[in-house]
Amino acid sequence: MNQSASPIGVFVTPVTPLQQNCTTVWCVKTGKAAVIDPGAEIDRILAEITRRGLTLDAIWITHGHLDHAGGAAEMKEKSGVDIIGPHPDDQFWIDGIPEQGRTYGLPTARSFKPDRWLGQGDRLTLGETAWEVLHCPGHTPGHVVFFNRAARFAQVGDVLFRGSIGRTDFPRGNHADLLNAITTRLWPLGDDVTFVPGHGSHSTFGAERRDNPYVSDAAMSRAPIARPASGPS
């Protein structure tokens, strides 16, 4: 991603055995940073923030799965910043993080209560940058997406991937809700928007509307809509 003229900076730290894209974003003018989805390896993430001369301002959570939220409590303890998000419909997933951690070999993962829940249309400020919150259920019922309009950038968690979409075979997942969220809340933001997904490579909404076999414009014109057999958590 070309950040040379952008009001924000972005770096990605893959964490956990599931290689989740923990994404740090910051305001270029002020150096204030937010960590999106600190699933684990908190000391490594904090060290990189310090190395870059940034100041951690907040923790933002897209949804309550272990690999995205399992390290949030530890990061809050070590930094003193607030945990913001996801939508309250994901509280049951957050409550289950310790059990998820035992299953996936991350026994130190802990549950937490966010300092602020998020909903559709909420706005966040990071330094001098403004971020929009979109509630995009389907992968989980409380999943949110973070969008910076000025930078044409979104962090979409496990809603959308390069060439795929989020799984909906988890408790309270809903395939129709996911497709609706992608097509009615993400696509209208513009084909030029670059996004970082929860796993894998970044892409643009335009590329996915053209080529994604599950949610491209061509795929959405056909019925029934196929579901991915498997995919990132």
CA angle 94, 97, 99 (to 5 degrees): 140
Tokens of 152: 């044409």
**What is the model's pLDDT at position 23?**
98
For residue 37, give the nearest of 9, 4, 14, 5 by alpha carbon.
14
Q: What is the pLDDT along the chain (233 residues), one digit of tens a residue?
A: 555 689 999 999 999 999 999 999 999 999 999 999 999 999 999 999 999 999 999 999 999 999 999 999 999 999 999 999 999 999 999 999 999 999 888 999 999 999 999 999 999 999 999 999 999 999 999 999 999 999 999 999 999 999 999 999 999 999 999 999 999 999 999 999 999 999 999 999 999 999 999 999 999 998 555 566 555 56
Q: pTM for this structure?
A: 0.94
What is the phi/psi pair of residue 71, to 5°? -105, 5
**What is the model's pLDDT at position 224?**
59
Class of domain 8-220: alpha beta
**What is the model's pLDDT at position 50?**
98
Name the 3-class secondary structure at 31.
Answer: coil
Nearest-10 crossing angle of helices 42-51, 72-79: 50
Asked if 196 contacts 21 with a C-beta cutoff of 8 angstroms, the reply is: yes
* CA dist., res. 199 & res. 102, Å (int): 21
Distances (CA, A) of 207 to 2, 97, 180: 17, 34, 18
The domains of the chain are located at 8-220
**What is the model's pLDDT at position 179?**
97
* Amino acid (one-letter) located at 58: A
* CA dist., res. 62 & res. 162, Å (int): 18
